[in-house]
Amino acid sequence: MFCKTSDPRGFSTDLANNIFGPVDFFRKEGPVDAMSYVEYVTSKAGMNALTKAFAMRLGPYITVNAICPGYMKTEMVAHNDPETERVLLHEIALKRFGTPEEVARSAVFLASDEANFMVETFS
């Protein structure tokens, strides 16, 4: 979840930042391990609902969005066997893993003035 203040009076974002930090990331896809799937999707749905609730509660002076990257090309997936990678890539619309740099650009955009009208966005 990402909270940014645009209140010229300096409205505090301390509540949101103390709960989540300035930026937290959540994944769109569930994990491959089906044993943790129920817990994962339940918590994911809760975070999405919380993002929407904060957006409604803190607007119009604070924008609230979530960054929900899919599978990322990181050390976590670097050692996957080719079959696991094939299965994962099949589930991704773009047929490739994202990169940490792409996620960082989303965070920079949401922190910028260019995103002042974006709320409840899951990118």
Tell me which long-range contacts 27-36 makes (C-beta under 8 A, separation of at least 24): 27/68, 27/69, 27/70, 27/71, 28/68, 28/69, 28/70, 28/122, 29/70, 29/71, 29/91, 29/92, 32/84, 32/87, 32/88
Q: What is the pTM of this model?
A: 0.61
Sorted by where each begins, the domain ranges of the chain are: 2-115
CATH classification code of 2-115: 3.40.50.720
Active site residue 37: no
pLDDT in tens, 59-115: 888 888 888 888 888 887 778 888 888 888 888 889 999 999 999 998 899 889 898
Token pair of 39, please?
């817990």
pLDDT in tens, 8-40: 555 555 544 444 444 444 444 444 454 456 777
